[in-house]
Structure 1
Amino acid sequence: MSTPRTSTPRERPPFVADERTQLLGWLDLQRDICRWKTEGLSAADAHRAVLPSSPLMTAAGIISHLRWVEHAWFEVIFLNRPAADNPQFREEPEDGDMLVAGVPLDQLLDDYRRQCAVSNEIVAAHALDDTGRNPEVRAAAGTLRWMLLHMLEETARHAGHLDLIREQLDGRTGYY
């Protein structure tokens, strides 16, 4: 059953807090902005490509991509859990994590919410100076702190994409 989509909270982390709270707070804000940008989209608009040179760049495709990026960095690269379910680790089809035709946006958002919760549990259970465990991925040499900063950058970048897509779809704008 899908989680009802209501207005997504968008709160900045406290001005004074420990490093982990700050990092997760900013990442959670960007995650919330991504979800907010999809609120009220029709099924057709969620899957509509508005950038002619980027046919996979849809609101639904970006939400799916973000879910799998979270999985890749925190579960596969950091913890060395299996990558078999993650389309990012398959050679074909290219950008398979964005191929979501026919998958309801609510399902993609629920999957993303669950994955973010798993990621936050992983972050809570490990030191920021811990490094990744996957011996097959060069980036596993990075610390959890580095991975959090990378996910913040990745998510914020795609929040910007969603902002542009949403404006093209129905004129809705706004950042915060």
Structure 2
Amino acid sequence: MSIKHLRPSGDADERSQLTGWLDLQRAGVRMKCEGLSEEDAHRAVLPSSPLMTMAGIVAHLRWVEYSWFHLDLLGEPDTGQTPWRDDGDPDAEMRVDGRKLADLLDEYDDECARSRAITARHTLDDLEKGQHGGDSPASLRWILHHMIEETARHLGHMDAIREILDGRTGYLS
């Protein structure tokens, strides 16, 4: 599958570049999961990272989207909906046994759509209202750069896991 059409134009403005590259990475998440069995979606193949499964990464990316755009940028309070806040388990979002990959992907897509809507309502210079733990508040520009990095890094994990699972490889275009 080719998703080359999602690449931003080389002469696009800064916002279009940032959102375009992020959307390209987001689309790659679903692409890497195409045709994967439920068993393989939950199979841990890296001995040193038993929670890093395809399903776990999808869930993690969903919550990363939520955290950066809702909790940090908008400053919304966490009312207990985030998995890592319930019992103090820092890897709680990766624990998805019994959750169907299709449901996790749909939740991720829905969260990405909410993130896009939030992004559209803000300037790149708008600062987060929540606290991300950095020295100074992050701008939306910084958050978008970080989300490209975060999503691409985990997409690389998914690529390696998928190759180990069934030999399937491929780039986004």
Give TM-score scaled by structure 1 length. 0.91
Q: Which amino acid aligns with 2:11?
A: V
Q: Normalising by the residue count of structure 2, what TM-score does the alignment of the two structures yield?
A: 0.92
1:35 maps to: 30
The CA deviation string for residues 89-145 of structure 1, in whole angstroms up to 9 with x for no partner, is: 4552230010000000000000000000000011110010010001x4434701000
Which of the residues 18, 22, 37 maps onto 2:17?
22
Give the unaligned 5+ runs of structure 2: none
The answer to whether structure 1 residue 149 and structure 2 residue 145 are counterparts is yes
Structure 1: gaps spanning 5 or more residues: 1-6
Give the root-mean-square deviation of aligned CA atoms: 1.5
Q: Provide closer, same or farther for how the CA distance between residues 8 and 107 of structure 1 changes in structure 2, counting only shifts above 3 A.
A: farther
Residue 63 of structure 1: which of 58, 67, 76 is its match?
Answer: 58
Amino acid at match of 1:47: H
Corresponding residue for 1:49?
Answer: 44
Q: 2:129 aligns with which of 127, 133, 140?
A: 133
Aligned length: 169
Q: Please give the alpha-carbon distance, in whole angstroms, between the structure 2 residues aligned to 1:137 and 1:62.
A: 21
- Residue aligned with 1:132, SS: coil
Deviation (angstroms), 1:9? 3.4
Residue identity in the other structure for 2:58: I
Q: Output the CA distance in 1 between the equivalents of 2:127 and 2:156.
A: 29
Aligned to 1:4: none
Correspondence for 2:3 among 1, 4, 9:
9
